[in-house]
Structure 1
C-alpha cells in the first residue's frame, strides 16, 4: 500500500509529488505531465503570469523557471511573457529532475476502502493507498453557457478544446467571453485570417496595465508591492497569504473567489485585438440554434434591445466552474461524502484535506477556501508544502485511531537529481 497517490501531473500535481518524495513518502504520480498546457492551448499563446510567479515548487527551490530558461538559452524577465510551449517544456524538465517517475496512465476511478483508497487506472490496474491527492487541473470543470449546451461540437466548442486553430482559417468565428482566453484566442484567429468577433456580457472590456518596473523607489514598493497576482496590497494578500485568506468569513471568501481578478486581457494582447477584432461588449446570448452553415445566436444588449447574429462556429471562452459533482473519477459513494461550499466546490481544511479523511484537493477546486492564488501556478508552492504536511499528519493515524511510523524517518529510496551548475 502506498502512502500517497497523486492524481494529476500538472503544476500542482508535480509540485506535490516533489515535496512528498523529498519527505520520504512512498508515492506514485499518475497523469500525462503538463497535459492541459500541451494539449488544450493553441500554439502562439503566452503565459499571462509573470515568469517569476510561474515556478513549480520543489522543497529546495532549485528547479525554477529561470533556471530552465538559463539552461535553454531563454530569458525569464519581469514584464516579458513566456510562451505557453516553453512553460509546458519547463514542466516536463521539472518532472524529470524533481519528481519520481510519472506513470502517464489516466486514473478512471478513486474509491474509498477500509484504511484508505483504491485507485483504478485506465487499463484496469487497481492500486491501494492510505491517502490520495487530487490535482486534476481545470479540464473536468469546463463551463459552457446554458444557451449553447446541446449544440454539436462542430458548431460550439470551449476555448480549452483547441490546441490548433488552423481549422478556422478563412472562416467566421464568434468568441464568447471577456477574459484573457477569449481575447488571446480572438487575436490568434484574426492573425491567421479568420473573421472573428468577441461577444462579452460586460459593458466594456478590461485590460491589465503594464506592470510597474521591478526596480523602483522604495515608496512605490510600499504603496503598491509586487505580488504573484499583480501589484497592490490586495493582490499581495491573495497571493502570499492564502493560509490567512482561509480564515476570512465564508461569505467574504465566496465573494472574493467569484469576483477578484475577474475577466481581463493582458496589456500585451490589447494592440492585437483592438482594430483587428470586432468587439461586442454588453451582449448576452439568450438562445442558440443550428442553421445552414453554422449557428444563429439570439442576444440581448444592456439596453434591452434584441439582436441576432449568425456565425459558422462559436468558441466559448467562459472559464471553469469547480464543483464536487464534476469530479467524475470519484466513486459515487465517495463523492457523496464530500462536504461542499455554497458554490458547489469541495470544502477543505487548513491542510487541503477534504471532509473525507485522507482525500486531499489541490488547484482550482480549493479557490473558494484559499483564494484566487489557487487559480494560478503561483499557488502551487503554498499548496504543495501545506498539503504534504497534512498528508504526513493523516498518516500518523490508523483508521482505528492508533499510530503508524511517520514516513520519512528512515532513508529515502529516491532523491531529487542534484542541480547542475
Structure 2
C-alpha cells in the first residue's frame, strides 16, 4: 500500500479530516486542489454567512479566531467574513499542521485486495488501505432544465460556475432563485454597475435579518458524542431540525445585502416562475414569466441550489456495490459507506448525519467521527496480518 489513508478532496472537509488523521499518527495522502472550489467557484467579493468560530481544526487549536489573533485582527472588523480571508486561513491551517496536498485529480476509484486503488489525471496510480472522499458540491448542481432547455450553454450559468461579473455579458441579468446566493449575486452585479438585475422566485421574499447559527452547536456536539444520533431521531424531531435550518438559512437573507441592491437596478419578482427562455435573432434572451411579463435580458443565472446524486461523482462510478438512497450514499455511524474502508463526508453525509454537514461548521465534527474509525480499521487489518 502507498498509504494508510487517502483523502480525496482538499476543501474544508478534506483538510479537516486529513489534519486530524495526521494528528493521530495515521499515514495520510491528500489529493486535490487546496480549497479549489472556494478559489474557482466562489465570486471575488463574496461575504460569508459563517461566524468567526467556524474553523477546520478538530483539536480546537488552529482555529480561525487563532489565525485572526495571530495577525492582530479583531473579529468584529471582518464581520461579515470575506471569502478570500477564509481561504487565507485555510492555507495557514494547512501550513501550520504540516499538511502536504498533491494538486492532482482522482479520475477513478476501485476496490483492490485489502484496500483501494485510484487513477490520477496525470496517469499515475495510488493504493490505500482506507479512503475518505469529500466531493465538492459542484458535482451536485440542480439545473431546472425546462426553463432554460432552449438556451445555448454560454447564455446560462449556475452560480456554482459564476465567479466574476462581465459587464457586457451581464448588462441585463435574470436570476432564477430567491435565496441567499440569488440575492448575493444580485448585489454583486449591482456593485459592478450593470443596467438591470431581475430576480424571479416562487416564494415570498425572505426577510433581510441576521442569521444566528449557534443553535447547531449542541446538535453537532451530539453527533460526535452519540454515534448515530441524528438517524435515531424520530421523523418529527428530524423535521424540526430541518425546519429550523430552513427558517434560519432560507427564510432569512443577510441584511448587509439590502443597501447594495438599489430598486432601480434590482427588480424582485416574488411568486413567479420563469416558464421559458429563448434566444432571439438579435441576441436578446426573451424570458417569459408566469405572471405574463416578458423580460429581455443578456444572461440567465441559476441560483437553484444543489441536489444529491452521488453517481455524478466520476471517480465513484467503478464501485457498483456502493449503496445509495435518494442520491445520497448509505452511511454507517462513522460515515463509512457500504464499501468497507470508504468514507464519505460533507454534503454527501447530510441525509444520515443532518443538514449541518453541508456547512463548514461541522468540519471538525466530521473528522472526529471518521478518523477514530479509520484508526480502528487499520488496527484490525494489522492484527489480521500478524
- The runs of 5 or more residues in structure 1 that have no matched partner are 212-228, 406-421
- Whether contact under 8 Å (1:155, 1:294) holds in the other structure is no
Match in the other structure for 2:313: 327
Q: CA deviation at 1:210?
A: 3.0
Structure with bigger helix share is 2
TM-score (norm 1): 0.82
- Whether contact under 8 Å (2:45, 2:82) holds in the other structure is yes
Q: CA deviation at 1:179?
A: 1.6
Which of 295, 313, 316 is the matching residue for 2:285? Answer: 295
- Whether contact under 8 Å (2:347, 2:357) holds in the other structure is yes
Match in the other structure for 2:135: 136
TM-score (norm 2): 0.89
Match in the other structure for 2:343: 360
Distance across 1 between alignment mates of 2:208 and 2:219:
17
Give yes or no for the alignment of 1:241 onto 2:222. Answer: yes
Distance across 2 between alignment mates of 1:105 and 1:254:
39
The root-mean-square deviation of aligned C-alpha atoms, in Å, is: 2.5
Distance across 2 between alignment mates of 1:280 and 1:138:
27
Determine helix, strand or coil for the equivalent of 2:207: coil
How big is each residue's C-alpha offset from its partner over 1:276-316, in whole Å with a ceiling of 9 and x where there is no partner? 5100111112333322324233332xxxx444333110110
Distance across 2 between alignment mates of 1:393 and 1:150:
53
Match in the other structure for 2:163: 163
1:98-109 equivalences in 2 (<5 Å): 98-109=97-108
- Whether contact under 8 Å (1:169, 1:193) holds in the other structure is no
Q: CA deviation at 1:139?
A: 1.2
Match in the other structure for 1:372: 355
Give yes or no for the alignment of 1:260 onto 2:260. Answer: no
Determine helix, strand or coil for the equivalent of 2:314: coil
Change (3 A) 1:170 1:392: closer
Match in the other structure for 1:42: 43
Match in the other structure for 2:73: 74
Q: CA deviation at 1:274?
A: 5.9
Change (3 A) 1:253 1:124: farther
Q: CA deviation at 1:236?
A: 4.7
Q: CA deviation at 1:170?
A: 6.7
Match in the other structure for 1:97: 96
Give yes or no for the alignment of 1:19 onto 2:17. Answer: no
Distance across 2 between alignment mates of 1:361 and 1:28:
16
Q: CA deviation at 1:181?
A: 1.1
1:15-414 equivalences in 2 (<5 Å): 15-52=16-53, 54-59=54-59, 61-77=60-76, 80-147=79-146, 148-149=148-149, 151-168=151-168, 171-194=171-194, 195-202=196-203, 204-207=204-207, 209-210=209-210, 230-232=213-215, 235-242=216-223, 243-249=228-234, 253=238, 260-261=245-246, 262-263=249-250, 264-273=252-261, 275=263, 276-292=265-281, 293-300=283-290, 305-332=291-318, 334=319, 336-341=320-325, 343-398=326-381, 403-404=384-385
Q: CA deviation at 1:126?
A: 0.5
Match in the other structure for 1:419: none
How big is each residue's C-alpha offset from its partner over 1:22-74, in whole Å with a ceiling of 9 and x where there is no partner? 1111110011111111111111111111111x211242x22111122223343
- Whether contact under 8 Å (1:144, 1:318) holds in the other structure is yes
- Whether contact under 8 Å (1:8, 1:32) holds in the other structure is yes
Provide the aligned length of Structure 1 versus Structure 2: 374
Q: CA deviation at 1:191?
A: 1.4
Distance across 2 between alignment mates of 1:149 and 1:86:
37
Change (3 A) 1:128 1:205: same
Change (3 A) 1:167 1:46: same
